[in-house]
């Protein structure tokens, strides 16, 4: 809790701004948790650009439907701002929907401003 989804790093993304989270009182972000091996964690670090300094890796206590737990989160190390592409935003909304996010959360994702004309998928 107390984090919100936003976008930033428009100058480092291929199609516009990249998804990240920032602290904000009373805000919530829906996410999916994965249990990964240490080898997979190292691969994910590479995939997320940790060696390039694109993200900070934070260990946070998060609230789940099963109670609180600790999780690693990748937070973009760039200024907030910029618009994601419609395709990227559509992929985020689709993933949230498939993961069981509340309908109002998915609807909000689908109606966020994007850099391409037309609504996100």
Residue span of the structural domain in which 21 resides: 3-110
> Are residues 113 and 120 in contact, defined by beta-carbon separation less than 8 angstroms?
no
In a domain? residue 70: yes
The CATH number that applies at residue 74 is 3.10.490.10
3-8 and 18-23 beta bridge pairing? antiparallel
In a domain? residue 116: no
Pick the catalytic residue from 48, 80, 94, 97. 48
pLDDT in tens, the chain (121 residues): 689 999 998 877 678 899 999 999 999 899 888 899 999 999 988 888 777 888 888 999 998 888 999 999 989 988 888 899 999 999 999 999 999 999 999 999 999 999 874 444 4
User: Is position 43 annotated as part of the catalytic site?
Assistant: no
pLDDT of 49: 77
In a domain? residue 75: yes
Q: Is 105 annotated as a binding residue?
A: no
Q: How far apart are CA 109 and CA 111, in angstroms?
A: 5
pTM reported for the whole predicted model: 0.82
In a domain? residue 56: yes
18-23 and 67-76 beta bridge pairing? unpaired
In a domain? residue 39: yes
In a domain? residue 121: no
């Amino acid at each position: 809790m107390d984090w919100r989804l936003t976008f930033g790093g428009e100058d480092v993304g291929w199609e516009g701004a990249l998804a990240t989270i920032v602290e904000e009182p009373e805000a919530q972000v829906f996410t999916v948790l994965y249990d990964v091996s240490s080898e997979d964690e190292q691969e994910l670090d590479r995939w997320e650009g940790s060696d390039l300094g694109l993200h900070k890796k934070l260990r946070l206590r998060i609230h789940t439907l099963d109670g609180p737990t600790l999780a690693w989160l990748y937070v973009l190390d760039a200024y907030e701002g910029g618009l994601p592409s419609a395709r990227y935003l559509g992929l985020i909304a689709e993933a949230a929907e498939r993961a069981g996010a509340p309908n109002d959360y998915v609807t909000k994702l689908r109606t966020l401003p994007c850099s391409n004309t037309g609504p996100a998928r």
